[in-house]
Amino acid sequence: MNPAQDAFAALRYRDFSIVTINQFFLTLAILIQEIIVAYSLYKITKDPLTLGLIGLAEAIPFIGLSLWGGYFADKFNKQLIMKICLFFAIPMPLILWWLFHSFGQQLIGVSTLSWGIYAVIFGLGMIRGFYNPSATSLKPFLIPRELYANGATWTTIGWQSGVIIGPMLGGFMLAGLGRETSLLSVAVLLSLCFILISMLSKRTFPTMEHSNLKDSLSEGFRFILKTKIVLWAISLDLVSVLFGGVIALLPIFAEEILKVGPEGLGYLRAAPSIGALITMIALTKFPPTHHAWRNMLIAVAGFGIFTIIFAFSNHLWLSLFALAMTGACDSISVVIRQTILQVYPPENMRGRVAAVNGMFVSSSNELGAFESGLAAKYLGTITATVFWGCMTMAVVVLSWVKTSDLFKVDITQGHSDASKKE
């Protein structure tokens, strides 16, 4: 079968399949832990700001270390870095287990519990700052160039599958097994991830042109600034995610607005990924790379519209539908952005470009969570959510005006005309 017509083409490469499975288990672990920590802490404190502070605790070290992580990803062995990061991640849910156990035994107070959780999340942010650039920049070395779009789709499917199952499983585990047992399962999942990455074939990677840290990092920034489609792809996703922080407030919607408890929170948290997964399956056969930039802008606009619909909903099924549609729209944007970031950067620069992307885009999830918690505290949960949806729409309009020349670009080819600085 022609690889271009084979929906499973990327998965036929052993190491890519291993990395995709690892992505699933890692996402599963992260989301189970997120549901447990966010819901439990909000139920204890009843303060929306605590949800925002969780995001901020992860964002600060991640932003601070991402560029270093990109430098190390391009200078040293990416697979070894991922193994080291996972090794240090395994004890983190065990520390959370001890904190909640001690609180339950009244050995520590709410303040100690909260700051202990923030410290653990801070540590996970540090680990993520080194792990993400290596993991992202590794994938293009596992499959041929012509399969990058297919690979990006399957990578996202692996991630979205974890995001679907993780929250629902986390909600049911929290309700049925309790916090402590559930957190122990997270440590087991992280151990499986460590084993999977250890199974990858040994390989060498291209060396950097500059060994000096400052020169190396500035080279990555210069590439992004001069490559218009890369710059705008990162900027568009950054701003839209920053103003799309409704996920952080789902414990409030579950507990106070929809009144559906931890099980309902699991459904709400999983809904965006159900929509995304269904869309991703379709994208394996119908990739959004034809008129890619137009498709990306439409998808981000849809994300904003359905965020507003979710804000006004008082019915669980309408809320689930709106969240599912935000996931469907987001998945299209993710595939296009990942394809751009794999095609355009040179092989020996992918780690640094991935680091810059991660620093701005990935951290915007956590910064968006902090902004969400802050806005919900002072504006109200519904008002804040409507505002974010409107801001996302405004960003799309601005991008449409400023990037009309990118509508005709074929992103699978990396044309030079898309690399011109505006």
DSSP structural state of residue 201: P
Per-residue pLDDT of 73-125, as tens digits, reads 777 788 888 999 999 999 999 999 999 888 888 888 888 888 999 999 999 98
Structure confidence at residue 242 (pLDDT): 64
Residue 310 counted as domain residue: yes
Residue 281 counted as domain residue: yes
How far is it, in rounded angstroms, from Cα 368 to Cα 243?
Answer: 6
**Mean pLDDT, rounded, of the chain:** 79
Tokens 């074939």 identify what position?
201
Structure confidence at residue 369 (pLDDT): 66
How far is it, in rounded angstroms, from Cα 304 to Cα 388?
Answer: 8
Residue 309 counted as domain residue: yes
- At 350, the pLDDT band (50, 70, 90 cuts) reads low
Mean pLDDT for the stretch of residues 340-359: 70
Per-residue pLDDT of 20-62, as tens digits, reads 888 899 988 988 888 888 888 888 887 777 777 887 788 788 7
Whether 205 and 352 have beta carbons less than 8 Å apart is answered as no
Structure confidence at residue 119 (pLDDT): 93
Structure confidence at residue 358 (pLDDT): 66
Residue 205 counted as domain residue: no
- Using the predicted structure, report yes or no on whether residue 248 has a pLDDT greater than 90: no
How far is it, in rounded angstroms, from Cα 97 to Cα 37?
Answer: 10
Domain that holds residue 370: 3-199+211-418
How far is it, in rounded angstroms, from Cα 256 to Cα 345?
Answer: 46
Structure confidence at residue 243 (pLDDT): 59
How far is it, in rounded angstroms, from Cα 192 to Cα 155?
Answer: 18
Residue 121 counted as domain residue: yes
Worst-scoring range by mean pLDDT, 134-143, 200-209, 212-221, 410-419?
Answer: 410-419
What domain count does the chain have? 1
What CATH number does residue 62 fall under?
1.20.1250.20
Residue 421's nearest CA partner among 230, 217, 238 is 230
Type of residue at 367: L
317 Cβ contact list (under 8 Å, min separation 6): none
Residue 206 counted as domain residue: no
Structure confidence at residue 192 (pLDDT): 94
Burial 287-314 (b: 16+ CB within 10 A, else e): bbbeebbbbbbbbbbbbbbbbbbbbebe
Where on the phi/psi map is residue 410: left (φ > 0), alpha (ψ -120 to 50), or beta? beta
Residue 411 counted as domain residue: yes
Residue 38 counted as domain residue: yes
